[in-house]
Chain A
Amino acid sequence: MLEIKNLRVRLRVEGEPRTVIHDTSFTIGAGEAFGLIGESGSGKSMTARAVARLLPEGAECTGEIAFAGKPVLALKPDELRRYRVDDVAMIFQDPRASINPVRTVGDFLTEAARTNFGMRRREAEDKAVALLAEVGIADGGRRLKQHPHQLSGGLLQRVMIASALMGDPKLLLADEPTTALDVTTQSEVMGILNRLRAEHGVAMLFITHDLELAGAVCDRIGVMYAGSIVETLSSDALHEAARHPYTQGLLTSRPSLTATTRRLPVIPGKPLSAFEAPGGCAFAPRCAHVIAQCRESGPEFVDGVRCHRVGELS
């Protein structure tokens, strides 16, 4: 349903063009959950924004993003609006900043339905209350009259999830939806998002830096490094089938519940953004298996992985 091919994004930072997404390709099928993981600066959030065409002013996009055959990057203003109304919905990281503070929760939930579908207030409010019940907010009628500052972050993010589902979208773009929440409410909100997505049959692009979480929630996973996807794989095969040295590094650098190690292995060096990456393979400076060829030429993305030595290592 969503097909991204050789996406490349450049932003203008203080007048200088800066590559944030180097070369990214992946697909998401109808109803499928795809997790995009990576460290900060890897370009994962920009990828989600590119899909919703919410990139900052002055951004240049090349490559293809197709949604059900529609070329997203070429949509005219009115088509783009319809695409956002009918096809995609976005859940942002920080619900408190992402909901207008001077309007009521009810206004926030029903605005899109009333504006875009001409739904009447009562009708929209009934739908909102029903969705609030689904996200675990029982007293929806009362909540509609409240202002955002009267709700906790966890509740607000549930409101955000409910509002994303108000328009019956086909694809949810969830950009680190639990990062800004308390640790205790994170798993709760994640559980609700996961369950509702499955029940409503909505596909999801899930952005996170948490590989295990992505493995638990998504069907397939894409690992991003310095603006490129270095590996895509099925969640079931996450631990066994990881072939790229970076994915393997991420997997071993997490504390395990079963094994006791005296010291966690870490990936040496710091993560790079696309514009800082050297020629050749972007991961080469930090890779334990680096050879001369890695520094000379960037590997192509072949058969789900981007690594010169994939044949020898996996």
Chain B
Amino acid sequence: MSELGKFLIRKLFGLVATLLAASFVVFGATALAPGDPIAVLTGGRSVDPETIASLRAHYHLDDPFLSRYWQWLTGILHGDLGQSIIARRDVSDLLASRTETTVLLVVYAAVLILAAGITLGIVAALRKGAVDNVIMLGTTAGMAIPSFLTAIVLIVVFATGLGWFPVFGPGDGFTDRLWHLTLPAIALAVSSTALVARLTRAAIREELGKEHVETAISRGIPRRLVVRRHVLRNAMVPITTVSGLTVAGLVVGSLVVERAFSLNGIGAFLIDSVTKSDYPVVQAIVLLLVATFVVLNTLVDVLYRLIDSRIEPGGRG
């Protein structure tokens, strides 16, 4: 088998192992939780012992821990994410429409981060002096602004102030949705954009100082080609990794932004379920977010391997 094939299989195996361990943590943590799930189910009303017994049987509360974990896990593998205690409906049904909002928000923000972050980083790296200083100052501030605050500033300025964008809600139809999600996506993107810009700048500056770039200049290659072929191409390797990991992290950043803009996404649903102690929903969403994060990370790893020709497949760097 090729070295690349072995590498991919090893990655896949690691991915499965991590997901299994994470699922165990998620399920196990819930089992550790203080408090009686029956109390949540009955909402504090006094119920006769028979009902309690039937409820315990229905939710398998008296089975041993590992058996409950196994049932939960096999259920998930069959697409059964469990039942909400509060809504008494399948979690997968409850998630369906909300997923769309969250995915659209994260993808929108990711596009903004990559486009703006990398562009700003390149410009700052190549234009020393005032342009560089302004961008660095902006990114220092950008990195210090939490997304919920960006959200509020955007609402104050563009929604309630200028009235250019809607304040709340996800909107109907694709364009209207994008329209509604523009401010949330910006809020989600700002600090990551600053981070990506800074790391892009650092990667390019480092590459600009390399001897092979001097070689290219000494051979009379025009500067714009030196930058494109030797500086950007080489810096792309670290930039891709960092950007990929940053985008993967948005999965959780969206929680806060959804809350700030009252968007009905997965994150808002998670927080809502946390405050209502709806454990099956919390378990399902946390596992879903972890899975998305881990899969994205693995993809970044694979991508890194593919674009960095210096690394022999399966070998050393």
Within 8 A of B (CB), among A126-149: 147, 149
The answer to whether B212 and A111 touch across the interface, beta carbons within 8 angstroms, is: no
Q: What is the CA–CA distance of A89 and B222 in the complex, to the nearest angstrom?
A: 15
* A102 close to chain B: CB less than 8 A: yes
Counted as pairs of residues, one from A and one from B, with CB atoms less than 8 Å apart, the total is 70
Neighbouring B residues of A102 by C-beta, 8 Å: 233-234, 237, 308-310
- B205-247 residues with Cβ-Cβ distance < 8 A to A are 210-212, 214-222, 225, 229-230, 233-234, 237
In the complex, A157 Cα to B282 Cα: how many Å? 61
> 20 more A-B contacts (CB under 8 A) besides A81-B220, A98-B211, A102-B233?
A54-B218, A83-B220, A84-B220, A89-B218, A89-B219, A92-B214, A97-B211, A98-B212, A98-B215, A100-B215, A100-B230, A100-B234, A101-B310, A102-B234, A102-B237, A102-B310, A103-B230, A112-B221, A116-B219, A149-B310
A260 at the interface (CB under 8 A from B): no
Q: A98, B214: Cβ atoms under 8 Å?
A: yes
With beta carbons under 8 angstroms apart, the residue of A54, A100, A149, A167 that contacts B212 is A100
> Quick one: given A102-B237, A111-B229, A115-B225, are A97 and B212 in contact (CB under 8 Å)?
yes
Question: Which of A154-205 touch B at CB < 8 Å?
Answer: 163, 167
Chain B residues near A111 (CB-CB < 8 A)? 216, 219, 221, 229
Q: A272 within 8 Å of B by Cβ? A: no
Query: Quick one: given A54-B217, A97-B211, A100-B216, are A115 and B309 in contact (CB under 8 Å)?
Result: no
Chain A residues within an 8 Å CB radius of B220: 81-86, 112, 116, 167
B21 → A minimal CB distance (Å): 35
Can you list 28 A-B pairs with a CB-CB distance of less than 8 A? Answer: A52-B218, A54-B217, A81-B220, A81-B222, A84-B218, A84-B219, A85-B219, A89-B219, A92-B214, A94-B211, A98-B211, A99-B212, A99-B215, A100-B212, A100-B215, A100-B230, A101-B212, A101-B310, A102-B233, A102-B237, A102-B310, A103-B229, A103-B230, A111-B216, A111-B221, A115-B222, A147-B309, A167-B220
A36 an interface residue at 8 Å Cβ cutoff? no
Closest to A116 in B: B220
Task: Check if A207 is an interface residue, CB within 8 A of chain B.
Answer: no
Query: Complex: how many Å from CA A147 to CA B221?
Result: 20
Chain B residues lying within 8 Å of A86, measured Cβ to Cβ, are 220
Residues of A within 8 A of B221 (CB): 111-112, 115-116
A230: interface (CB < 8 Å)? no
Q: Complex formed: what's the CA distance from A90 to B214 in Å?
A: 10
Which A residues are CB-close (under 8 A) to B222?
A: 81, 115
List of A residues within 8 angstroms of B217 by Cβ: 54, 84
Residues from chain A with a CB closer than 8 A to the CB of B312 are 149
Give the distance to chain B from A12, nearest Cβ to Cβ, in Å: 14
Per-residue CB proximity of A201-223 to B under 8 Å, as 1/0? 00000000000000000000000
Which chain B residues numbered 142 to 166 have a C-beta less than 8 Å away from chain A? none
Give the total of B residues in contact with A, Cβ under 8 Å: 22
CA distance A100 to B211 in the complex (A): 9
Q: Which 5 A-B pairs have the closest CB atoms?
A: A85-B220, A84-B220, A97-B211, A112-B219, A100-B212
Cα separation A167 to B237 with both chains bound (whole Å): 31
Give complex CA distance A81, B220 in Å.
5
- Residue from A85, A99, A102 with most neighbouring chain B CB atoms (10 Å): A102
> Within the complex, which residue of A81, A89, A92 is in contact with B211, where a contact is CB–CB below 8 Å?
A92
Complexed CA–CA distance, A54 and B220 (Å): 11
CA distance A173 to B269 in the complex (A): 68
Nearest-CB residue, chain B, relative to A57: B128
A97 near B219 with CB under 8 A, answer no
A80 to B, closest residue via Cβ: B220
What 1/0 mask marks residues of chain A from 94 to 110 whose CB sits below 8 Å from any chain B CB? 10011111110000000
- Please, which residues of chain B bring their CB within 8 A of the CB of A90? 215, 218
Interface residues of B in 278-317 (CB under 8 A from A): 308-310, 312
CB distance from A127 to the nearest CB of B (A): 15
Per-residue contact bits, chain B 251-274, to A (CB 8 Å; 1 contact, 0 not):
000000000000000000000000
Interchain CA distance A86-B212 in the complex, whole Å:
20
Contact with B along A40-62 (1 / 0, CB 8 A): 00000000000010100000000
The answer on a CB contact under 8 Å between A92 and B215 is yes
Chain B neighbourhood of A115, CB < 8 A: 221-222, 225
Query: How far, in angstroms, from A86 to B220 measured CA to CA in the complex?
Result: 9
CB distance from A145 to the nearest CB of B (A): 11
Distance (Å) between the CB of B267 and the closest chain A CB? 39
**How far is it, in angstroms, between the C-alpha of A138 and the C-alpha of B230 when the chains are bound?**
28
- What distance in Å separates the Cβ of B84 from its nearest Cβ neighbour in chain A? 51
Which single residue of chain B is at the shortest CB-CB distance from A163?
A: B219
Q: Which residues of B contact A101 (CB under 8 A)?
A: 212, 234, 310
Contacts of A149 in B (CB 8 A): 310, 312
A84 to chain B, nearest CB (A): 4
* Minimal beta-carbon separation of A130 from chain B (angstroms): 19
- Which B residues touch A52, using CB under 8 A? 218
State which residues 19-55 of A face B: CB under 8 Å. 52, 54
